[in-house]
Amino acid sequence: MYTETEIIKDNTDLGPDGELVVNMGPQHPATHGVLHLVVTLNGETIKKIEPHLGYIHRSIEKMCESLTYRQFIYVTSRMDYLSSHINNTACALLVEKGMQIEVPERAKVVRTILNELTRIASHELWIGAMAMDLGAFTPFFYAFREREMITDIMEDTCGARLTMNYIVPGGLMYDIHPDFQTKVKAFVKQFKEKVTEYEDLVTGNVIFQSRTKGVGVLTAEDAISYGCTGPVARASGVRCDIRKIDPYDAYDRVEFDEVIETAGDSFARYMVRVKEMNQSIRIIEQLIDQIPEGDFVGKTKNVLKLAKGEFYQRVETARGELGVYIVSEGATTPHRIKFRSPGFSNLSVLDHIAKGSKIGDLMATMGTLDLVIPDIDR
Amino acid sequence: MFLKDYISDVVNGVSSLLKGMRKTGYYFTHSKEIITEQYPDNRATLKLADRFKGEVVMPHDENNEHTCTGCTACELACPNGTIKIITKFDITPEGKKKKAIDAFIYRLEMCTLCNLCVAACPSDAIKMAPNFEHSVFDRSKLTKILNKPGSKIKEGIE
């Protein structure tokens, strides 16, 4: 039995300068996935953050090396599961580039629409989860109402809600559902009406603003040197949208703005994603009536073999730049495959921008980085 | 100056909170606009999409005939070895040997529902079914034999 004084004595094993080490996760309810952060604190001020990775490592890169060029696409849905369509597109584009497969126009346009729907769904989930991290529970349900419409569209056309595996080298696995266009139009209409609700609930909220403005500031130089991409870098004023720099599929024929904010704080990252959703809606509106008739999949050989050499393809996922790099020895399976995932680079900046801030601000900083742990660990 | 800032902060803060509360109040009084699926109470009326990928099934017609030739295209297309086809040789009425499937073994617990086997099938023998309630107490129940007992291949399918 401890006496009262002994308990106090036991709990004072602080470091030399009064440091306290706090483990955040893997079971912490506010973290996404199973990220384990070892936070060194001095009082309430953060001195150091060390992310411990590997809890959800499945060796996807090695797995892909034993699968053929048709089979390895489905594995990439499990990396960044919130933008699985875009991951699949990256792999399919690379195989098409390596084998010079002609992709029909219909497939290109449908892919672009589905990619943008995925991006909206991902940002919707992020808004809900991030607001929940900051203590607001209601926006989660509002965001999921619109996201549910997108998952319904995905379920109709692709047959799955999250890990679609709808994109194959050469086009699409099967044709779009007959109701696809009407459903997407209904979604666009509803989204435009309801997006103001997020503005009322979250953007204008005084508590949300004071918790995010000026918190976790990332400068443009740091964003570039840490390799940040996507909304994280664009909130710091770095132009890095692959859809603009290196257009793929049907992005070269649509008009949209690359959303740039200059403040670099958590609120700017939030605003970039909200505005990006509106740009995605703009892209969908331009394409939904222009889906050309014709084949949905191009002519491919029965057995796909990439020529000897190195191939690289990058796309813009909801979180940033995803790069797929394949070294081929001319066989039916890749010799070496490497994924450059946006989440890993975005996480590596966390220690830099959260250092010196209070532990309460860490939730806002981490939430707005939009970390998906399976994407970081792979 | 300080007092002015303080008062405007309070007024702006309260008005922004009321704006959010108005939305909450709106949905509190308009309960019909809330969409919630009452699963599992709505099992009888639950309608899943036709293409929903729940599990692989082999459709049989009224004569207990399927269209699987046992070509193992699905077995080769499967990324995780979910499907195993055991073939046998039937004797046709003319006295010739003919290849047919003995057992189409499907391991649901290993399946990632990627649809590659269905896409690879040349004779449309298998398809995806929208059943999703797969939980059982014993894992061995998830290993299924898809061809029904006594079934045979349809006439004219090579």
**A 170-189 residues with CB < 8 A to B:** 173-174, 177
Q: Is residue B44 part of a domain?
A: no
The residues, any chain, with a CB within 8 Å of residue A159's CB and separated by 6 or more, are A166, B49, B51, B52, B53, B115, B128
Number of domains within chain B: 2
Residue A9 pLDDT grade (very low, low, confident, very high; cuts 50, 70, 90): very low
Residue A14 pLDDT grade (very low, low, confident, very high; cuts 50, 70, 90): low
* Token pair of B16 as six digits: 């922004």
A119 and A280 in contact (C-beta within 8 Å)? yes
Q: Please state the ipTM of this predicted complex.
A: 0.74
Which position has the higher pLDDT, A283 or A135?
A283
Do B146 and B85 reside in the same domain of the chain? yes
Q: Is residue B21 part of a domain?
A: yes
DSSP reduced 3-state for A264: coil
| Model pLDDT for residues A148-163, shown as the tens digit of each residue | 888 888 888 888 888 8
Nearest residue on chain A to B20, alpha-carbon basis: A201
Q: What is the mean pLDDT of chain A?
A: 83
Q: Which residues of B touch A173 (CB under 8 A)?
A: 115, 119
Q: Which residues of A touch B131 (CB under 8 A)?
A: none
Do B16 and B81 reside in the same domain of the chain? no
Four-residue CA torsion sign, A209, A350, A84, A231: positive
B125 and B141 in contact (C-beta within 8 Å)? no
Which position has the higher pLDDT, A6 or A353?
A353
CA distance to partner chain A, nearest, from residue B155 (Å): 27
Report the residue from A67, A74, A200 with minimal CB separation from B20: A200
Residue B34 has pLDDT above 80, yes or no: no
Do B64 and B119 reside in the same domain of the chain? yes
State the best of B5, B16, B55 to mutate against chain A, taking most chain A CBs within 10 Å.
Answer: B16
Q: Is residue B113 part of a domain?
A: yes
Q: Is residue B50 part of a domain?
A: no
Give pLDDT, residue A33.
60
Q: What is the mean pLDDT of chain B?
A: 82
Q: Of the ranges A295-299, A351-355, B88-92, which one carries the lowest mean pLDDT score?
A: B88-92
Residue A70 pLDDT grade (very low, low, confident, very high; cuts 50, 70, 90): confident
The mean pLDDT of B98-108, rounded to a whole number, is 83
A377 and A56 in contact (C-beta within 8 Å)? yes
Q: How many CB pairs under 8 A join A and B?
A: 66
Q: Which residues of A touch B114 (CB under 8 A)?
A: 74, 165
Nearest residue on chain B to A137, alpha-carbon basis: B24
Q: Which residues of B touch A72 (CB under 8 A)?
A: 79
Four-residue CA torsion sign, A227, A229, A235, A238: positive
Q: Which residues pair with A324 in a beta bridge?
A: A313, A339
The mean pLDDT of A67-93, rounded to a whole number, is 87
Do B94 and B60 reside in the same domain of the chain? yes
End-to-end Cα, chain B, rounded Å: 90
Q: Is residue B38 part of a domain?
A: no
Report the residue from A71, A156, A206 with minimal CB separation from B17: A206
Residue A321 has pLDDT above 50, yes or no: yes
Do B61 and B126 reside in the same domain of the chain? yes
Q: Which residues pair with A51 in a beta bridge?
A: A37
Q: Of the ranges A2-16, B17-31, B51-65, B121-135, which one carries the lowest mean pLDDT score?
A: A2-16
Residue A5 has pLDDT above 50, yes or no: no
Q: Using a CB–CB cutoff of 8 Å, tell me whether A163 touches chain B.
A: yes
Q: Which residues of B touch A168 (CB under 8 A)?
A: 119
Q: Helices A105-133 & A84-99, crossing angle to 10 degrees?
A: 150
Q: Which residues pair with A167 in a beta bridge?
A: A172
Do B29 and B92 reside in the same domain of the chain? no
For the stretch B79-117, what's the b/e string if a residue is b when 16 or more beta carbons lie within 10 angstroms of its beta carbon? beebbebeeeeeeeeeeeeeebbeebbbbbeebbbbbbb
Residue A60 has pLDDT above 70, yes or no: yes
Q: Kindly report the backbone phi and psi dihedral angles of residue A215, in degrees, each rounded to the nearest multiple of 5, phi listed first.
A: -105, 130
Q: How far apart are CA A372 and CA A84, in angstroms?
A: 12
Do B73 and B8 reside in the same domain of the chain? no
A267 and A212 in contact (C-beta within 8 Å)? yes
The mean pLDDT of B55-62, rounded to a whole number, is 85
Give pLDDT, residue A137.
81
Give pLDDT, residue A47.
85
Q: Is residue B117 part of a domain?
A: yes
Could you give the percent of chain A with pLDDT greater than 70? Answer: 93
Q: How far apart are CA A68 and CA A335, in angstroms?
A: 11
Nearest residue on chain A to B51, alpha-carbon basis: A159
The mean pLDDT of A111-135, rounded to a whole number, is 88
Q: Is residue B89 part of a domain?
A: yes
Encoded amino acid at A350, one letter: L
Residue A29 has pLDDT above 50, yes or no: no
CATH superfamily entry for domain A60-377:
Cytochrome-c3 Hydrogenase, chain B (1.10.645.10)
The domain that contains B107 carries what CATH number? 3.30.70.3270
Residue B96 has pLDDT above 70, yes or no: yes
Q: Give Rg (Cα) of chain B.
A: 28
**Which residue range(s) make up the domain with B87?**
55-153
Four-residue CA torsion sign, A21, A26, A28, A30: positive
Give pLDDT, residue A1.
46
The residues, any chain, with a CB within 8 Å of residue B109's CB and separated by 6 or more, are B139, B142, B143
Q: Which residues of B touch A301 (CB under 8 A)?
A: none
